[in-house]
């Protein structure tokens, strides 16, 4: 199975996971149970088969889809218990989106689907809880599956592109990430009772400390002299029935059963928004149209794909001045999200971004890089040229700030 087929399946299945999430909500509103796992398996098989046929024989694949794949999808869906309406949605999406991704290899919107899945999931989780734990479990499964599938898919696609020498380091970085996620899931799943007890124990400890610190104040308020003075003051005031009724009405307005889920959703959205702003997972990456999903940028002077550099800012800096300046330039560009691709030369990188540069810059780097002139030093013009290129990258970053989530959403609506 080729990388292109896996890339098409990866991008389609991210969208299908969100579609399955919507189908679960429709089943919830109609008080029906959705056969989630069979539906996920059927969509996976259909999309993989169709994308493989498109890769081998594109014209014949379209005919075979309507003759063989679509009837199989309907038969499998009926056997699994899906209604014809939902099977039709699945068949249309398999044909439409797989064809779209086969023709367009540049679009990249997995962050949008992940964001929509989590936002809708957090908002509708109280509703799912009131309708039954089955719906809540399916929604939670799809949210976690969407996140893990994106991470695992990126790992697999990049693993296939990484050179053999860097695979061990690359696997180590991702294994740490997945290990942290697995540990967190295990702790939450099997240790929730312990976490709950620990949470209330901490709250009780805070309450005891506050009561100890505030004891003199409350003892002074509760002293007989203060109570006697307070009794004389309040005995002179007539009870205000209107204020008391307003207090009772306001207390009745705050219904914990109603406002509790809303506050939970608001806090969840706020936390996810903060993660969205801080995490690099949702940042837009500029890729050329010829590159498939799975290519990663490289700031190494040897033009090797080193995953440690992508995740670790303390990569070793070359000793040679010219290579050091190019290394710093690539690291600067990577932070601005305009990094060099693993298969690009310096001149190809500049041309892709539309950077105006002096050809002597590329010539000097290549002489040092490929060993023709090891002793070439970085002259003043070279340093100034690097500064000029950094300024252009900075300008590109300013122009690209308007492209973010809004552009991805517009792009999704156009698709």
Residue range 171-230, pLDDT digits in tens: 777 677 677 767 776 776 666 677 667 767 787 788 788 777 777 777 777 677 767 766
Of 286, 269, 266, the residue nearest 277 (C-alpha): 269
Given a cut of 70, the residues of the chain with pLDDT beneath it are 1, 105-108, 161-170, 174, 177, 181, 185, 188-192, 195-196, 199, 222, 226, 229-317, 319, 371-379, 400-415
Q: What is the pLDDT of residue 379?
A: 66
Answer yes or no: are the C-beta atoms of 297 and 127 closer than 8 Å.
Answer: no
Neighbours of 330 (CB within 10 A): 22
Q: Which residues pair with 297 in a beta bridge?
A: 341
Instruction: List the chain domain ranges.
Output: 3-168, 296-414
Q: What is the pLDDT of residue 188?
A: 66
* Structure tokens given for 130: 């009131």
Give how far Cα 257 sits from Cα of 29, 134, 144, 271, Å. Answer: 20, 21, 27, 22
Q: For residue 21, give every residue at least 6 positions away whose Cβ sits within 8 Å of its Cβ, in sequence order, or none.
A: 117, 120, 121, 139, 142, 143, 146
Q: What is the pLDDT of residue 265?
A: 56
Q: What is the pLDDT of residue 233?
A: 62
Q: What is the pLDDT of residue 285?
A: 46
Give how far Cα 288 sits from Cα of 107, 108, 304, 339, Å. Answer: 10, 11, 19, 12
- For helices 256-278 and 110-131, give the axis angle rounded to 10 degrees: 160
Q: What is the pLDDT of residue 301?
A: 41
Q: What is the pLDDT of residue 286?
A: 45
Answer yes or no: are the C-beta atoms of 309 and 173 closer than 8 Å.
Answer: no
Neighbours of 55 (CB within 10 A): 15
């Amino acid at each position: 199975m080729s990388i292109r087929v896996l890339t098409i399946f990866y991008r389609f299945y991210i969208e299908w996971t969100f579609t399955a999430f919507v189908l679960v909500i429709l089943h919830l509103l109609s008080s029906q149970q959705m056969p989630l796992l069979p539906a996920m398996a059927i969509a996976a098989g259909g999309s993989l088969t169709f994308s493989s046929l498109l890769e081998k024989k594109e014209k014949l694949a379209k005919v075979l889809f309507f003759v063989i794949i679509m009837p199989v999808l309907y038969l499998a869906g009926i056997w699994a218990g899906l209604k014809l309406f939902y099977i039709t949605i699945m068949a249309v999406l398999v044909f439409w989106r797989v064809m779209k991704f086969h023709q367009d290899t540049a679009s990249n919107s997995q962050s949008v689907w992940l964001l929509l899945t989590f936002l809708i999931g957090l908002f509708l989780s109280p509703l799912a809880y009131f309708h039954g734990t089955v719906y809540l479990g399916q929604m939670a499964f799809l949210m976690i599956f969407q996140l893990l599938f994106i991470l695992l898919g990126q790992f697999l696609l990049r693993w296939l592109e990484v050179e053999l020498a860097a695979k061990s380091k690359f696997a180590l970085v991702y294994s740490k990430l997945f290990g942290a996620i697995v540990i967190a899931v295990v702790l939450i799943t099997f240790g929730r009772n312990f976490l709950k007890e620990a949470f209330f124990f901490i709250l009780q400890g805070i309450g005891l400390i506050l009561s100890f610190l505030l004891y003199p104040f409350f003892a002074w308020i509760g002293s007989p002299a203060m109570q006697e003075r307070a009794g004389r003051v309040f005995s002179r005031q007539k009870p205000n029935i209107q204020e008391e009724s307003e207090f009772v009405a306001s207390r009745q307005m705050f219904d914990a059963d109603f406002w509790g889920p809303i506050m939970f959703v608001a806090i969840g959205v706020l936390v996810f928004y903060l993660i969205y702003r801080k995490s690099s997972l949702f940042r837009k990456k500029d890729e050329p149209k010829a590159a498939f999903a799975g290519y990663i940028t490289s700031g190494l002077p040897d033009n090797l794909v080193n995953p440690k550099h992508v995740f670790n800012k303390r990569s070793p800096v070359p000793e040679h001045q010219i290579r050091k300046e190019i290394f710093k330039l690539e690291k600067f560009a990577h932070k601005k999200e305009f990094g060099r691709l693993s298969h690009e030369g310096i001149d190809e990188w500049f041309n892709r971004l539309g950077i105006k540069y002096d050809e002597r810059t590329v010539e000097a780097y290549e002489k040092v890089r490929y060993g023709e002139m090891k002793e070439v030093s970085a002259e003043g013009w070279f340093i100034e040229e690097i500064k000029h290129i950094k300024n252009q990258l900075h300008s590109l970053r300013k122009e690209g700030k308007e492209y973010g989530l809004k552009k991805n959403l517009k792009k999704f609506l156009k698709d």
